[in-house]
Structure 1
């Protein structure tokens, strides 16, 4: 091959009019849930419509769900959700905290990958809902010469409404490519020793700053309908194992960490206990100091910064609780980036 431009080459035996070929690369595409472009009504409506129209998220038949969603729900919810987003918005960068943190995670991983593999590997991120879309980032990677793409949903635990729908979007994007790259998806890493250790370190750092040790640590996971568990979704079992492994890594006794679920939506029964109710019950039982963390979220977002640190905190305090400590998600902490890199390296096996 003879170089004709940076990053491109012409095949030595190709006809004169053959288009230049990009130097082969490997792409690592990180994926998170998504974010609205703003907290105004129309930005929120577009985002919520895309999110709540996903059959992996709400599996009610369209004929029954869409009239309700596009009518009553999306007439009201963008206002309430927008107010909540405004409370946590990164006004300096004019973006949601999830977007800011995902950018920081991507930059840290890109730096670590470059230090080990040079410019042979391209690192970027996409959102399942909102921008940047999965399709746009797959297109950019293919255009840049990525002949192999490792798709990494940043969800420690598998769930149909998170990991599976992210993979759906990735596969759908590949369907539009004339020259499809080889593709791999990263499986859940809920019990990876480095991930558990990063969680434990975050607890230890938080507790070291407190004057009084909390009576209970709550691991609050995003909820899902109980029906999904009965239909075979492994999410609940994986959450329970993470909490157990965390307790064992910390060296704590049984009963020192509670497992709960938040973000309940709709009328059917969801995984229990519900965090918002459980913290109030703890306060009534005389547990005046608690700490809450959200192991299923790789980055702080509306469910942690507003729901846990707002609604759930208020539930505890209104029931008589005195000291509420929220332990931030792992975000771009070095131990977290190290854990993600270990997962990435294991999944690149045979490609580099």
Structure 2
């Protein structure tokens, strides 16, 4: 039976292993690190390195890291993305909009290719709005989602009307939502003092990618400036950093760890940090930024380190995503 509702919204996030075990992490890492959009090196050489060196050793280590942030319901990234999708569905239902909301992952499950094709081929949705939950565009994320969309369409005899929302890095509502989450935290914790700093940490990438034309770095700095302006703080009160560096190649700078070490050395006592490039909390935010980076700052003389959560499934997140996709329905 064909669903009378003809428009669907598909939220797509990065993905997660199905369990915090080496057996589950290995196939997830293989899929992720085999993506030519993510790792742009000689594929034959990289495949050897991946199979013989990275997967055997990194899988158990990553499994322990995932275990430290795992929720009773599962992976934080998937749990919060699903909650966001359900709340967005409820918001559309309450206003009487005939829209179905679904979610998928670029790597792992729910599989992006399968969900996209099922929406049209099995459920009869002729119009699909696709929103990768990455505020800033990058070939390593958004373009990879687009690649799979293209591969999905190539398999389909009947294709739906579809629209990909490329990014929302300069959307005023996005900046206001991030700023509002910071202000709400400060209302409870107290605003920053003269010896305190706000750190905006974004996921890093090889500098070479941006030199070749990826707009990510430019969009990150635009987003950061809009957030700072929305907060009404002086530029010197906020610091931008890039996290999650992998390998020996030069990545976008400044790197997060040296930034925190520098702040501590300069006498900064308190750091409030958040990750505006992540819509949903995940391993990189909860383990790397909230935990590992905390130890770095405190061990170097800092006195207080506070992690401010991503928007996740908050009311501001639902409102932001709803308004983003509604323009394309």
TM-score w.r.t. structure 1 length?
0.90
CA RMSD of aligned residues (A): 1.2
Residue 130 in 1 paired to residue 111 in 2? Answer: no
Cα distance between partner residues in 1 of 2:81 and 2:5: 26
Residue 319 in 1 paired to residue 297 in 2? Answer: no
Cα distance between partner residues in 2 of 1:53 and 1:29: 24
How far off its partner does 1:322 sit? Answer: 0.8
**Paired residues, what number?**
326
Q: Is residue 127–residue 134 contact of structure 1 (8 Å, CA) maintained in 2?
A: yes
Q: Is residue 280–residue 315 contact of structure 1 (8 Å, CA) maintained in 2?
A: yes
Alignment correspondent of 2:86? 107
Alignment correspondent of 2:326? 345
Alignment correspondent of 1:73? 54
Cα distance between partner residues in 2 of 1:250 and 1:24: 41
Alignment correspondent of 1:82? 63
Cα distance between partner residues in 2 of 1:62 and 1:141: 33
Name which of structure 1's ranges 247-256 and 46-55 shifts more when overlaid on structure 2: 247-256
Structure 1 residues 296-311: aligned runs within 5 Å: 296-311=277-292
Alignment correspondent of 2:209? 228
How far off its partner does 1:270 sit? Answer: 0.4
Residue 254 in 1 paired to residue 232 in 2? Answer: no
Ranges in structure 2 where 5+ consecutive residues have no aligned partner: none
Per-residue CA deviation, residues 119-177 of structure 1 (Å, 9 max, x unaligned), is: x3211000000000011101320111111111110100000111110111122112212
Cα distance between partner residues in 1 of 2:114 and 2:162: 16
Cα distance between partner residues in 2 of 1:211 and 1:184: 42
Q: Is residue 5–residue 99 contact of structure 2 (8 Å, CA) maintained in 1?
A: no
Alignment correspondent of 1:14? none
How far off its partner does 1:241 sit? Answer: 0.9
For 1:145, which of 124, 129, 133 is the aligned residue?
124
Cα distance between partner residues in 2 of 1:160 and 1:106: 24
Structure 1 residues 1-352: aligned runs within 5 Å: 7-8=1-2, 23=4, 25-90=6-71, 92-93=72-73, 95-118=74-97, 120-142=98-120, 143-211=122-190, 213=192, 215-348=196-329
Q: Is residue 129–residue 164 contact of structure 2 (8 Å, CA) maintained in 1?
A: yes
Cα distance between partner residues in 2 of 1:304 and 1:40: 19
Cα distance between partner residues in 1 of 2:148 and 2:92: 25
How far off its partner does 1:23 sit? Answer: 3.5
| Greater Cα radius of gyration, structure 1 or 2 | 1
Higher relative contact order (CA 8 A, sep 6+): 2
